[in-house]
Amino acid sequence: MPETDDGFVEFRNVQKSYDGETLVVKNLNLSIARGEFLTMLGPSGSGKTTCLMMLAGFESATFGDIVLNGSAINSVAPHKRGIGMVFQNYALFPHMTVAENLAFPLQVRKMDKATTAEKVKRALDMVELGEMGGRRPAQLSGGQQQRVAVARALVFEPDLVLMDEPLGALDKTLREQMQYEIKHIHESLGVTVVYVTHDQTEALTMSNRIAVFDDGIVQQLAPPEDLYERPMNAFCAAFIGENNRFHGTVAEINGDECVVRLADGTAIRALKVNVDKKGDRTTLSLRPERVEIAPEAGTYPNVVPARVKELIYLGDHIRTRVSVCGNDDFIVKVPNASRHARLTVGDTIDVGWSLEDCRALDG
CATH code for the domain in which residue 47 is found = 3.40.50.300
Q: Is there a single domain that holds both residue 344 and residue 213?
A: no
Extract the residue ranges of the chain whose pLDDT is less than 70.
1-6
Question: Which runs of E-coded beta strand occur in the chain?
Answer: 9-17, 23-32, 37-41, 63-68, 71-72, 83-86, 160-164, 192-197, 209-214, 217-222, 244-254, 257-262, 267-272, 281-286, 292-293, 302-313, 317-324, 327-335, 348-353, 359-362
- 211 phi-psi bin (left φ>0, alpha ψ -120 to 50, beta other): beta
Q: Is there a single domain that holds both residue 165 and residue 312?
A: no
Surface-to-core class of residue 160, CB atoms within 10 Å of its CB (0-12 exposed, 13-18 middle, 19+ buried): buried
Q: Is there a single domain that holds both residue 288 and residue 264?
A: yes
Q: Is there a single domain that holds both residue 170 and residue 273?
A: no
Q: Is there a single domain that holds both residue 299 and residue 164?
A: no
DSSP lists the bridge partners of residue 17 as 23
Query: Cα–Cα distance between 212 and 192 in angstroms, integer?
Result: 19
pTM for the full model? 0.90
Domain endpoint, select from 234, 255, 271: 234
- CATH number assigned to the domain comprising residue 268: 2.40.50.100
pLDDT score of 6: 65
pLDDT score of 126: 86
Q: Is there a single domain that holds both residue 165 and residue 252?
A: no
Does residue 28 form part of some domain? Answer: yes
Q: Is there a single domain that holds both residue 33 and residue 145?
A: yes
Owning domain of residue 328? 242-362
Q: Is there a single domain that holds both residue 102 and residue 208?
A: yes
Domain endpoint, select from 186, 204, 234: 234
Does residue 2 form part of some domain? Answer: no
Does residue 344 form part of some domain? Answer: yes
pLDDT score of 1: 41
Q: Is there a single domain that holds both residue 134 and residue 78?
A: yes
Q: Is there a single domain that holds both residue 215 and residue 252?
A: no
Q: Is there a single domain that holds both residue 189 and residue 276?
A: no
- Pairing type for strands 302-313 and 317-324 reads antiparallel
Domain endpoint, select from 234, 259, 285: 234
pLDDT score of 339: 79
Q: List Cα–Cα distances, 242 to 100, 289, 331, in angstroms.
A: 45, 9, 9
Query: Cα–Cα distance between 269 and 305 in angstroms, integer?
Result: 16
